[in-house]
Amino acid sequence: MGPAAKTTTMRSISQEAFEELVNENIDDLGMDPTEALQDAIQTLTLQGVDLSGIVTCVPGETNPVIECLDRLRHLETEPDQNLIAQAFNTLHELCANPNSDSNSNVAIATKNGAVELACSLCSKISLAAGSHVVPLVSALNALSSLLHDVQSTGAFHRCDGPRIVMAFLVDNKGNVELLSSGFRVVASAATGDEIVKEAFMELKVDELILEIMSLHRHKGIQSLYDAVCALLMPDDDRVVASQVYGYARKFAKIGIAEALVDSLSAGVSSHDLISACITLRAVAVNDEICKSIAEKGGIDALLRCIDDSGEQGDKAVAKVCCSLLSKLAGSDANKSAIVGKGGMDKLIKLSARFADDPSVLQEIMSIISVLSLRSPDNAARAIEAGAGDLAIQAMEKFPAAHQMQRNSCLMIRNLVVRNPENRTILLNNGIEKYIRKAKQTHTNCKDAATDALRDLGLDNYNL
């Protein structure tokens, strides 16, 4: 293990201290307000002071985020549902893309208690009348745009945010708009925060998600899929051993894989297809789950979608379907099923459809590489189907596509390592020069290319 990376801790400053410095520039140095502000910003920046979350307005001017928060605090004591909705809509517009100032606005908002305020107001919004769903949707949208780092998600957790949001979701299972906003909060809050993930799982968010998927089949609730992926992503750097793999097994155990396969079975016309593929890939964390997905018809559905995506020229669908198929092919039992159902031929056919797109070709190579791993019969079948020609043509046509070049080298290695006859075929077709070029041109290809040359039986593979 190499030496630990050096980290630089930035200094911080309070809003009061910043404003005092600006006023000193005006009072003591005779600067005009604009000059005083710019001098303070420049001086502090040079000193390594972190100004994120600091309101940097010219003295006398107001900041729209602070104005909005002040308005919400007033409404907290004198609630008006319409005004609350308007204020939250404004906060959301300030803190969400495509607002060019969204990053600085979010920092200002969260530093000034926006997360706590939003949670407080959410818990006070009455849902006795249907019209009150409107301010709640606005509040949830604003809250989702505020949750951007562990400080903001930590504040959300301390305010009992997971319980508040789950209660709204449970009480409004029939309202697609509210579900979309609510699951957007779940996704934002769970991203990068292991503690929040655990809180939602303890509140049985997995069971609720499965129920919602059953109630609203093929409705395209994108944030629901985003929430599952966020819950199953080991992305909290503070945690040595993440619990997300256990969560994935729990999702699979209650039937989420079967529900996602149902979305795949609807085909390329389904609004949920891409999201379902991405989510199912996150759930498929072990051999048992991969095999269960195949048993539920997942491989059949994927191969149909791969065929249809090629016919329709839909590269987005082609890539996600290939990526999922590659994950499922990690199971040896699934390898045989994929090849037995004509998978090799379908993949080569797809490569012909997208011969001008290296991003699709690299996904196809990845699957063939996995299918050929520890399987001489599959490697032989791949060469028969045209995998060798695919590698040579793609490497020649796209010399700058570094990831595709690397995937091609990995595929070639698996095609030849246990199949001497494949070595002869590929070498006779001139594969060596393309591998050497990839090794020399792309740093990330060096190891893969070296291994491929070695397994091709070339004594001078290090050259």
For residue 206, is it within any domain?
A: no
pLDDT at 461 over 70: no
pLDDT at 132 over 80: no
For residue 184, is it within any domain?
A: no
pLDDT at 197 over 60: yes
For residue 460, is it within any domain?
A: yes
pLDDT at 30 over 70: yes
pLDDT for the residue numbered 219: 81
For residue 86, is it within any domain?
A: no
- 407-434 CB burial, b ≥16 within 10 A, e <16: bbbbbbbbbbbbbeebbeebeeeebeeb
Helix axes 256-265, 273-283, angle to 10 degrees: 150
Q: What is the pLDDT of residues 266-296, one digit of tens each?
A: 899 888 999 999 999 999 999 999 999 999 9
pLDDT for the residue numbered 463: 60
- Residues 58 and 37: beta-carbon distance below 8 Å: yes
pLDDT for the residue numbered 44: 93
In a shared domain, residues 451 and 383: yes
In a shared domain, residues 388 and 447: yes
pLDDT for the residue numbered 147: 98
In a shared domain, residues 321 and 403: no
Q: Which two tokens stand for residue 157?
A: 């957790």
Q: How open is the CA angle 244-201-142, to the nearest 5 degrees?
A: 100
For residue 148, is it within any domain?
A: no
Q: How open is the CA angle 139-143-147, to the nearest 5 degrees?
A: 180
- Residues 139 and 118: beta-carbon distance below 8 Å: yes
Number of H helices, E strands in the chain: 28, 2
In a shared domain, residues 269 and 294: yes
In a shared domain, residues 365 and 392: yes
Q: What is the pLDDT of residues 66-107, one digit of tens each?
A: 999 999 999 988 888 899 999 999 999 999 988 889 999 999
Instruction: Kindly state the average pLDDT of the residues 170-182.
Output: 95
Q: Which two tokens stand for residue 89?
A: 């809509």
- The last residue of a domain, from among 341, 360, 388: 341
Instruction: Report CA torsion sign: 450, 456, 462, 463.
Output: negative
- The last residue of a domain, from among 286, 318, 341: 341
Query: What's the pLDDT band for 125 if we cut at 50, 70, 90?
Result: confident
Alpha-carbon span 340 to 334, nearest angstrom: 10
Instruction: Give the domain extent around 38.
Output: 11-50
In a shared domain, residues 336 and 378: no
Q: What is the pLDDT of residues 137-158, one digit of tens each?
A: 999 999 999 999 999 999 999 9
pLDDT at 265 over 70: yes
Alpha-carbon span 248 to 242, nearest angstrom: 12
Total structural domains within the chain: 3
Determine which of 55-64, 186-195, 317-326, 331-340 has the lowest per-residue pLDDT on average.
55-64
Alpha-carbon span 141 to 135, nearest angstrom: 10
In a shared domain, residues 412 and 449: yes
Alpha-carbon span 121 to 77, nearest angstrom: 10
For residue 116, is it within any domain?
A: no
In a shared domain, residues 356 and 463: yes
pLDDT for the residue numbered 123: 87
For residue 55, is it within any domain?
A: no
Alpha-carbon span 254 to 217, nearest angstrom: 17
pLDDT at 418 over 70: yes
Instruction: Kindly state the average pLDDT of the residues 106-111.
Output: 96
- The last residue of a domain, from among 318, 341, 364: 341
In a shared domain, residues 400 and 297: no
In a shared domain, residues 286 and 391: no
296 CB neighbour count, 10 Å cutoff: 19
Q: Which one has a higher pLDDT value, 188 or 129? A: 188
For residue 198, is it within any domain?
A: no
pTM: 0.90
In a shared domain, residues 296 and 358: no
In a shared domain, residues 285 and 360: no
